[in-house]
Amino acid sequence: MVSIFSRRIIAYVLDFFVVSAVMWIIAFLLSLIISPMDISYAYAYFPFIAPILGFAYFVVLEAFKGATVGKALMFLEVRSRNGARINLPQSIVRNLTKIYWIPIIFDWLVGRFMNTDRLFGNLTRTVVVNSTE
């Protein structure tokens, strides 16, 4: 049986691919509007679109569905410690470190030193659990 931690890493990678695919489409469409003669400008929008789109993806799906596409495929979901679905403010705070990838590493490392999963998961009183339970 694969651990929840391993499934969370796989889920994060799957979510990266989902966000990347949507990001490519948005960047391409923006480049057609802004500079239809040179599609290479699509790459210039990535540093601005990726953090916003990624953050929105995690916040909206976790707050309203309980899981992102990656988490759902790995049979995981985010819950409050009392077992209830998380609310929008909890989702916003717990996903702040996912705007760029370096803060998520810091979030996880500090959480490990505190004997918890993630610092921001601890602050928001949220956990990732098996969705099959």
- pLDDT tens track of the chain, all 133 residues? 678 888 988 999 999 999 888 888 877 787 777 776 666 666 676 777 788 888 999 999 999 999 999 999 999 999 999 999 999 999 999 998 888 777 877 887 887 777 777 888 888 999 999 988 6
Number of structural domains, the chain?
1
pLDDT at 100: 76
- Domain carrying residue 19: 4-130
pLDDT at 33: 79
- Please list, residue by residue across 105-126, b when 16 or more beta carbons sit within 10 angstroms of its beta carbon and e when fewer do: eebbeebeeeeebbbbbbebeb
pLDDT at 11: 94
pLDDT at 49: 74
